[in-house]
Structure 1
Amino acid sequence: MKYISSKKKPISSQALVSALSLVTGAVLAPCALASEEKIQQLDTIHVTADHDSYYVKESNNTKIAVPLLDTARTINVISKKEIDERGATSLQELLRTTPGITLGVGEGGTPMGDRPFIRGYEASTDILIDGMRDYARGSHETFNLEAVEISKGPGSVYSGRGSTGGTINLVTKKPKDQTESEVTSEYQNSGKGQTKYRFTTDNNIAINNNVAVRLNAMLDQGDVARRNDVEVDRWGIAPSITFGLNTPSRLTASYSYLEFKDTPDMGLPFSNVRNPDRKRPIETMPFETNFGRPDIDFRNYTAEMFSLNAEHDFSETLKLKLKLQDLKTTQDYFFTRLSFGCAASSGSACETEQLGLTYERNNRASYRTSHVNSGQLDLQAQFNTGSIKHNVVTGIDYSKERIGTKSMTVTGAGREVVDFYNPINLAHPNFNIQYGPEQKAGEITNTGLYVFDTVSLNDKLDINLGLRFDDYESTNLRDTVTENMFNYQTGAVYKITPHGRLYANFATSSNPSGENLGQAGGADGVASGNRLNDNIDPEKTRSFELGTKWELFNELLALNAALFETRKTNARTRDAEGIVTIDGENRVRGTELSVTGKITPLLDLSAGYTYLDSELLDGGFVSQGTVNVANPDNGNQLKFIAKHNANLWATYTLTDKFRLGGGATYVGKRFVDDSNDYYLPYHIRYDAFAQYQVMPEFGLQLNISNLTNERIYDASHVGVFSTVAPGRAFALKGTYRF
């Protein structure tokens, strides 16, 4: 198979999504007019005055059966309202401005895609879609999202293996019992020549009181702001139908398809061994400089998902829920790996980093597939044992994850030594990739049994209990690891007032060998979980959290504070003989503050701050020459973690038609290697927002992101190169609702 570089969207997908956006009104208007009652409902909608709060009171996770106020852990929910106002179009954009989360980057062995670190621990395979694990290590869009839930702290009791720092649950849109539609068209300009267009449509039709259908679609094409020749080219569609709305028995069938054809950007080369004083990325070239090979760099990613949700309410106190999901992904990419591997011809320029400095362009290519079948059955029951109230959720879940690969033989491009101050894009007329047949690379199966009980001892005190058993197996088709794992949580919630809580929580998680099979590379270290060590027990993490939660201003504002420590007491390391053991130890302790909701009927606020103090307590032994010595990195800060992280987003309704707002995000200094030699500097990003309702059905929104054009480094691949976030962008969006 030959790869043919193309910057054009296939006509079929482009026409499909554009047509959906343009003709929505014509298609749905007759449906809305079919009932006089529906017309009157639409007449009562006041778009500008009826703003929901940022504060979401309940989790979409079926294993959490009580309001968030009564849960003994930190759970942040980013609502659709905030997603829309921020103008975020991807999960990465949302996480970039979320306290307590930093980003990592993939390369070859570690695939490209969303790679968040929650409270200091990687969570790239702890991303869930409607509560079911997405193992693909891919990219996620927002066009079909209702909310994003971020659960902090070890969470294996909820989601099985991993979940060391927490989980991210993407809540997708579902049909509802009201006919309404929304069409958006957005134009973005960087002021430096980069432009982008985005179209979305969200259409819900209530066919009758019991049946509704919903269709979401998206087309996003153009350039990344302030980055030369870095392009986005993606589209998606997500239809769904629900039977049995407003009845005890409900069935929802959903399908989604998402396709990316982007030109990736690896930022700039970073560490320079010839200049040991270089500790942070060099900034002597313009922000916009593309050091890669945009004529041949590409990333193609597709995700196709079928899901089926069935629910039956036997009564108000006894409910049964079944979820089935089939998710297939394919990721195919070739990008230019950047590094300061100075050539001999550079001479002293390598040390001085003056004229004559060179860097290397090398090939990195990967083709991976992921196919996940998963199911979950929950039974929720409320009952009393004497004066003690119980709210129990018990169930079973099953998943089978299969990884596939293809070999890639690249011709017409290879190692290039390039002048750093004049990075000319050479022609590659003979560039070609020959793909081998797809081969199985591994398989993970897991069956989990769990029970949760919120025990109300009296009107003031609740006890949160959870226990889970996992039967886990991972194989790379050569070696196989099997584990039986128990995880639990126990917490107490004291009700200080009707709207104030004090809580304490203890929770665990387990990381068995092979849990990230096919999704982690050698640079991720012994603890990556990519290796199958059948004689190594799972890593175990324990966390203690003490916090308080309050609902203020008529329950429209949530104020949360927490102190916590997460400790991995048997981390994977190597012993003095070089053998992998679980004798290592690391920990992250810190504090988190957040406020979300309405301060007044006119002022909405979402703000947070986290402090993370991380430390490698025992890193085992490392090789130095012919001997193994105690790890010299002991006592260092864990990589990719910012000690201080804060965000603020606020909007104010000036008039019935006009709203104004903005925000700021602070991310502190992050080390990118275990030895704490190289780091990404702190940054502050400012964003602005304005919204004007031209008429009841039509409104305009202006977002200015990265207002000061701050040079922001999203992540670094252990100091070899550092990726750069988009620069300043002006986005004008029109929204038509009917």
Structure 2
Amino acid sequence: MVAALPTAVLHAQGNSEEVSPAKPFSIPAESLSDALIAFGRQAGVQVTVDSNIAKGIRTNAVSGKMTWPQAIQKMLGGTGLSYRLNGRMIVVGNEGASPIMLGPVRVGGTALPTTAMIGNLTPVLSGGEVADGGQLGILGNRSIMDTPFNQTSYTAEFIQNRQIRTIRDALKDTPSVRGTWGTGSPGQEKIQIRGFDVGGFDMSFGGLYGIVPASAALTEFAERVEILEGPGALLNGMSPGGGVGGTVNIVPKRAHDTPITFIEADYNSNLQFGGHGDIGRRFGKNKEFGLRLNGMIRSGPTAISGNGMKTALVGIGGDVRLKHVRLSADFGYQYRRIDGILPYLSLDSGVPVPDAAQVKRNLGQSWTYSEDQDIFGVFKGEVDIFRNVTAHGSVGVHDTNGTSLYYSGIAVSDQQGNGHTWWPFSDALRGRTIVADIGIRAQEKTGPITHDIAFSANRYWTESGWVAGYPDDWPDYSVNIYQGLKVPRPTVSVAHHIPIGSLSTLSSLGFADTVSALDKRIQITAGLRVQRVQSQNIDDGEVTSRYDKTALSPAVTAVFKPFKHMSFYGNWIQGLQQGTIVDSSYANRGQIFSPYKTTQYELGIKGDIGRFIATFDVFQVDVPSTVHDLNKNTLTIDGDERHRGLELNISGKLIHELSVTGGIMLIDPVLRHTDGGQYDGERASDISPVNFNMGFNYNFPFVKGLSFTADVIYTSSQYIERPVPRRSIPGWTRLDLGTRYVMRNPVAKNGKITFFLNVDNANNAHYWNSGGGNSSAGSMTMAAPRTFRFAVAADF
């Protein structure tokens, strides 16, 4: 269920060409919404119910082998509800809704084949905050129990209930994820996944890289936010930013079968006001045409002293679903400006890490700013060539422009907090990305064996330019991080013309075959991707360096389900990063290394306990690195960083009124084969060995419509550099709290009004963010203070 909607829509795959067979059902007597979620998953059909009708209704238990019409009739017996067919949906409503009570029946003439991706969302788990699976790139949609990876898909309801503003914060209940640079600093809102940096360039939009705004993507675009842990070169191709810890995919919003009319007014401390509107409609006899429009604007000071933010967004998503053809188009515009930039902190040698509770929250100046504008468009199409054979293609374009003026850091020189500012500058950037993907997905049964075959070819092309201006003279301004500072605005000019500084092309061919048997109890996938990386650096119109290398990236995965509600899985998969061009300081200058191959081994077990799903896995990720041979003065790829860890994740309902999502990750990141063996066996910097995240959503049983949320995040201490003696930032615990109250909308028959109150960092913890590549302690940033969010939303 999505909080913005007056209905609960539960998606599952159906088959329009087969009469409903008898299936085993096991659904306890429970609330109508939870029972229909279980029914949709077990029956393999699509179900919708008005959320106002669903409140307070409990269904009958269903157990045994029967057809799905028999199961739903038994489940709804005595409730005063019945069902009818509406296109490809089963609609549950009052008995006056002219139900169609049938025996064996075909489920809607426009049901999607298993090879479809457009409009083929996986069902939602009990509680409505997490989906049962998501997109796996070339492998298509998979349920959690059939996915040979650790994957979590957060819904728009999860985002709405917590009033989450950016995609990074939508992942806050994932234990393998940690944010790096703080919001309001000059860098991207990057994250770590399993200890490896993943930036905005490594996030995808509907499976396409290069579309998401790199600085920070806002959540109003998203129907789902999916995170797949571990490298995925086979699944999606090489990510443009070289991220190998995992991938984040944004599933764009689409119009639902039920009309959507949603407006929201919100307030964020301190004195930031905004609003959000969301409209969705479907048209045509069978609702073939859909249109979804989202608009948002917010402006004002944030909870960080001296910091302000302006954001605006417009998103349009349209789709067409015909019998054998599905089309979609997305257009988006995002604006983001930060005033009062938070500078980084660097520490001179021997200076201990400052106490975050004593340091000023914002050491920036009011004249500093960073401004970005992004506009993009994506078009996708699918055609069912034969039964369970689908051809697909997509193309996307993204333009970005940005300007800024700031000094990015402060160097701390002693234990008393004295230091000086870094040199200020003004810069401007522009970039354009064009990406395309074509492929075929097919399913073929040969006796007891089923083959799911996929082929894809993709191409990512980007050009970018950057210019900067510096003041002619800049005195060494002395500062103290405990007392604050006052720095005048410098006189800086920057050229209006931004020449192209780099060109890059990533192109690949991928093939995968999943062989399954015994009703998918055994699934083995083997695949291969051929990746080519081409890039040029340009200065004053002249090419200064070129890169052109090709790499093969194989993968093997397996799923074994000895019992209906349990699956064992394993994967051996690689990630790719662009290799180094050796610079002139080495004897082998000019040598071009092939793309670095990151290799992951992972074993896990998943249990579907009915209302929630638990995943436990162990993994090892090996990332190559360069090593300087001091005797020969050469640079070689002989280094290695190995991350070993274990994870436990749970999602769904623990008890009737309490749903949870989160878990724990323990990780041991070790450096190996370093320069001269100097750091061999040491823990890698900027990675916390213990990470715990758990989110709770509790529907108060004695007050109808009242709910509470809580998110607990614990991060242990981590080193911030390699040299010995090593400095570290202390561990921290953060608590986010929220409550909401839902009441009937008096001016809309099936609408509601919702009041939201959320408090991020309710315990007002002072802590340093996780490092993210800060091996020289050069870019520490402080976390945001306690932040209040209040909103009133209405749907009609």
- Measure, in 2, the Cα distance between the counterparts of 1:458 and 1:283: 57
1:216 alignment counterpart: 294
- Amino acid in the other structure paired with 1:484: T
Q: Confirm or deny: 8 A CA contact 1:111 1:137 kept in the other structure.
A: no
The one of 193, 198, 203 aligned to 1:123: 198
Q: Which has the higher contact order (CA 8 A, sep 6+)?
A: 1
Shift of 1:378: 2.4
C-alpha separation between the residues in 2 aligned to 1:704 and 1:216?
25
SS of the equivalent of 2:159 reads: helix
Q: Look up the SS of the partner of 1:439 in the other structure.
A: coil
Q: What is the CA–CA distance in structure 2 between the aligned matches of 1:636 and 1:400, rounded to whole Å? A: 39
1:557 matches 2:612: yes
Match of 2:546 in 1: 480
Say which of 170, 182, 185 aligns to 2:262: 182
Q: 1:127 to 1:332 in 2, by over 3 A?
A: same
SS at match of 1:478: strand
Cα deviation per residue 1:557-591 (whole Å; 9 max; x = unaligned)? Answer: 111010010112x4222222333211111100000
Aligned to 1:12: none
Alpha-carbon shift at residue 228 of structure 1 (Å): 1.0
Secondary structure class of the residue paired with 1:389: strand
Instruction: Give distance in 1, aligned partners of 2:708 and 2:217.
Output: 28
Whether 1:446 aligns to 2:512 is no
Q: CA separation in 2, counterparts of 1:260 and 1:46?
A: 40
Is the contact made by 2:755 and 2:791 (CA closer than 8 Å) also made in structure 1? Answer: yes
Question: Which residue does the alignment assign to 1:732?
Answer: 790
2:405 to 317, 329, 334: 334
Q: CA deviation at 1:247?
A: 3.1
Q: Deviation per CA, 1:129-185, whole angstroms, max 9, x where unpaired?
A: 111112864211111111211111121112222442111112221233331121111
SS of residue paired to 1:456: strand
* Matched-pair contact (CA < 8 Å) for 2:133–2:147: no
Q: Are residues 1:318 and 2:389 paired? A: yes
Q: Return the offset for 1:695.
A: 1.9
Question: How far apart in 2 are the matches of 1:539 and 1:97?
Answer: 30
Instruction: Output the CA distance in 1 between the equivalents of 2:326 and 2:590.
Output: 44
Query: How far, CA to CA, are the matches of 1:224 and 1:513 in structure 2?
Result: 40
Query: Residue 513 of structure 1 contacts residue 533 of structure 1 at CA under 8 Å; is this kept in 2?
Result: no
Quick check: 1:304–1:327 contact (8 Å CA) kept in 2?
yes
TM score, norm. by length of structure 1: 0.83
Superposed counterparts of 1:146-165, under 5 Å: 146-161=223-238, 162-165=242-245
- Counterpart check, 1:670 vs 2:727: no
Report what 2:66 is aligned to: none
Equivalent-residue separation in structure 2 for 1:420 and 1:491 (angstroms): 51
Instruction: Using the TM superposition, give the Cα deviation of residue 374 of structure 1 relative to its aligned residue in structure 2, in angstroms.
Output: 0.6
Q: State the shift of 1:665 in Å.
A: 0.5
Structure 2 Cα separation of the partners of residues 64 and 723 of structure 1: 39
Q: Aligned partners of 1:693 and 1:315: how far apart in 2?
A: 47
Corresponding residue for residue 578 of structure 2:
512
Residue 144 of structure 1: aligned partner: 221
Q: CA deviation at 1:46?
A: 5.3
1:686 and 2:735 matched: yes
Question: Cα distance, 1:631 vs. partner?
Answer: 5.2
Q: Is 2:477 the partner of 1:399?
A: no
1:508 deviates by: 1.4
Superposition deviation, residue 414 in structure 1: 5.8
The 5-angstrom pairing of residues 84-99 of structure 1 reads 84-99=160-175
The amino acid across from 1:465 in the alignment is A
1:87 Cα shift? 1.9
Aligned match of 1:723: 781
Structure 1 720/472 Cα, relative in aligned 2: closer, same or farther at 3 Å? closer
CA deviation profile, 1:661-718 (whole Å, cap 9, x unmatched): 3120011112222337232221100111111113242111111111110013224554
Deviation, structure 1 residue 601: 3.7
- Which of these residues, 667, 672, 693, is aligned with residue 617 of structure 1? 672
- For residues 535 and 347 of structure 2, the distance between their equivalents in structure 1, rounded to whole angstroms, comes to 36
Distance 1:361 1:584, change over 3 A: closer
Q: Do the aligned residues in 1 keep the contact of 2:136 with 2:235 (CA within 8 Å)? A: no
- Checking the alignment, whether the CA contact within 8 Å between 1:266 and 1:721 is kept in structure 2 is no
SS in 2 for 1:158: helix
Q: Quick check: 2:174–2:662 contact (8 Å CA) kept in 1?
A: no
- Does the 8 A contact of 2:605 with 2:615 survive in 1? yes
Q: What code does the residue aligned with 1:215 have?
A: L
Which residue among 637, 645, 648 is the counterpart of 2:694?
648
> Which residue of structure 2 aligns with residue 571 of structure 1?
625
1:537 maps to 2:612: no
Q: How does 1:241-640 map to 2 (within 5 A)?
A: 241-243=318-320, 245=321, 247-263=323-339, 265-266=341-342, 269-273=345-349, 276=350, 278-283=351-356, 285=358, 287-288=360-361, 290-294=362-366, 296-340=367-411, 342=413, 350=414, 353=416, 357-410=418-471, 415-428=476-489, 431-459=491-519, 460-476=521-537, 477-513=543-579, 534-553=591-610, 556-568=611-623, 570-576=624-630, 577-620=632-675, 630=676, 632-640=678-686
Number of aligned residue pairs: 653
SS at match of 2:188: coil
Native 8 Å contact 2:268 2:302 kept in 1 = no
Larger displacement relative to structure 2 (46-55 or 640-649): 46-55
Aligned-residue CA RMSD (Å): 3.0
Cα gap change, 1:534/1:134 in structure 2, threshold over 3 Å: closer, same or farther? farther
Q: Is the CA contact (8 Å cut-off) linking 1:639 and 1:670 kept in structure 2?
A: yes
Q: Which residue does 1:60 correspond to in 2? A: 135
Given that residues 104 and 640 in structure 1 are in contact (C-alpha distance below 8 angstroms), is that contact kept between their aligned partners in structure 2?
no
Give me the whole-angstrom Cα distance separating, in 1, the residues matched to 2:572 and 2:496. Answer: 49
Query: Please, which of 625, 650, 659 is the counterpart of residue 707 of structure 2?
Result: 659
Structure 1 stretches lacking a partner, 5+ long: 1-40, 343-349, 621-629
- CA shift in 2, pair 1:532/1:608, >3 Å: farther
The 1:668/1:246 distance shift into structure 2, 3 A limit, reads farther
How do residues 216-235 of structure 1 correspond to structure 2 at under 5 angstroms?
216-225=294-303, 227-235=304-312
3-state secondary structure, aligned to 1:446: strand
Q: Aligned letter for 1:56?
A: A
Paired residues of 2:297 and 2:312 also in contact (CA < 8 A): yes
CA distance in structure 2 between the partners assigned to 1:638 and 1:581 by the alignment: 20
Written as runs of structure 1 = structure 2, the 5 A alignment for 1:71-86 is: 71-86=147-162
Larger displacement relative to structure 2 (593-602 or 330-339):
330-339
Q: How big is each residue's C-alpha offset from its partner over 1:536-577, in whole Å with a ceiling of 9 and x where there is no partner?
A: 222222111000112112xx3111010010112x42222223
Q: Tell whether the 8 Å contact from 2:186 to 2:342 is kept in structure 1 after alignment.
A: no
Partners of 1:681 and 1:382 in 2: CA distance: 52
Q: TM-score, normalised by structure 2?
A: 0.77
Residue 358 of structure 1 deviates from its aligned partner by 4.1
Task: Measure how far apart 1:286 and its partner are.
Answer: 5.5
- Cα distance change on mapping 1:341 and 1:651 into 2, 3 Å: closer
CA distance, structure 2, for counterparts of residue 690 and residue 533 of structure 1: 59
SS of corresponding position for 2:762: coil
The answer as to whether partners of 1:281 and 1:722 remain within 8 angstroms in 2 is: no
Cα separation, 2, equivalents of 1:87 and 1:544: 36
Cα distance in structure 2, aligned partners of 1:47 and 1:703: 26
C-alpha spacing 1:341/1:661, structure 2 compared with 1 (3 Å):
closer
Structure 1 partner of 2:83: none
Cα distance, 1:122–1:369 mapped onto 2, change above 3 Å: same
| Residue 186 (structure 1) shift | 1.2
Counterpart secondary structure, 2:515: strand
Cα drift, residue 532 of structure 1: 10
SS at match of 1:722: coil
How far residue 104 of structure 1 moved from its aligned partner, in angstroms, is 3.3
Gap runs ≥5 in structure 2? 1-47, 58-125, 538-542, 746-751
Task: Give yes or no for contact 1:539–1:572 (8 Å, CA) kept in 2.
Answer: no
- Deviation (angstroms), 1:419: 4.0
